[in-house]
Amino acid sequence: MLPGFMLLLPLAEIASFVIVGKAIGVLATLGLVVLGVVVGMSMLRRHGLGILQRMSAEGRNGVAPGRELLKPAMLVIAGLLFVIPGFISDIIALLICIPAVRDLAWKYVSRRFVVVGRTSSFTASAGSGGDFRPRGPAGGKVVDLDEDDFKRQPDPNSPWSGKRLGD
C-alpha cells in the first residue's frame, strides 16, 4: 500500500498544482507554495528537531513517549509537510495543526507504542554511590558464576580459528 501511496501522491500534487493554477493564476499559486515553505521552515525552527531526539532518547530508556512529546513531534511533522511543495501535503499539515486531530492521532498512536530497549546486566541501586547489583530477567533465576565456574574456549575445529583480518 505504501509504494502505491508514494507513487500516487506526487501525481495528485501535480494535479492540484494544475487545478489551483487554473483557478487563481500561476503567480498566486507559486506564492502559496513559497508561503507554505516559509511556514514549514518557521515551524521547524520553532519546534525544532530536538523533540524527535528527546522521543528517541525516551524510547531507548524504556519510557513510552507521552502526549507532551507527541504534540510537538506532530508539529514538526506538519512543518516537514509544509516544506514539501504541494497543496495536498499542506492540507494534511493544516489538519495536523488542529488540536482535535492531534488528539485523535494520540488515541490511535498511544495504543500502538511498543518500547524496545536493550537491557543491561547491571543496574545501579538507588543512592548506592556506584554499588552495582546484578539484575536478572523478570521472574527468572539469576545464576551467579565465578571465573572458575565457566570458561569460554575457542573451538580449534572452527574454520575461523587462527585467522586474522586480511588473511
Note the pLDDT tens digit of each residue in 55-88: 677 767 766 666 667 778 788 889 999 999 889 9
CA quadruple 63, 67, 73, 74: dihedral, nearest 10: 140
Note if the pTM is more than 0.95.
no
The 3-state DSSP composition of the chain as helix, strand, coil percent (nearest 5) reads 55, 5, 40
Q: Give domain status of residue 60, yes or no.
A: yes
The CB density around residue 74, as the number of other CB atoms within 10 Å, is: 20
Domains held by the chain: number: 1
Q: Give domain status of residue 86, yes or no.
A: yes
Q: pLDDT class for 135, splitting at 50, 70, 90?
A: low
Q: Give domain status of residue 163, yes or no.
A: no
Whether the CB-CB separation of 17 and 86 falls below 8 Å is answered with yes
Q: Give domain status of residue 95, yes or no.
A: yes
Q: Which three cell numbers stand for residue 167?
A: 588473511
The CB density around residue 102, as the number of other CB atoms within 10 Å, is: 20
Q: Give domain status of residue 74, yes or no.
A: yes
Average pLDDT over residues 45-59: 73
Whether the CB-CB separation of 110 and 74 falls below 8 Å is answered with no
Query: Does 28 score more than 70 pLDDT?
Result: yes
β-sheet bridge partners, residue 124: 132
Bigger pLDDT: 152 vs 167:
152
Q: pLDDT class for 7, splitting at 50, 70, 90?
A: confident
- Output the CA–CA distances (angstroms, integers) from residue 3 to 7, 88, 89, 91, 117, in the order listed: 6, 17, 17, 21, 29
Give dist(CA 48, CA 73) in Å, integer: 9
Q: pLDDT class for 146, splitting at 50, 70, 90?
A: confident
Q: Give domain status of residue 127, yes or no.
A: no
Give the residue from 33, 126, 117 showing the smallest Cα distance to 82: 33
Q: Give domain status of residue 150, yes or no.
A: no
Average pLDDT over residues 7-22: 92
Q: Give domain status of residue 62, yes or no.
A: yes
Average pLDDT over residues 98-112: 82
| Structural domain that includes position 33 | 10-110
Average pLDDT over residues 151-162: 72
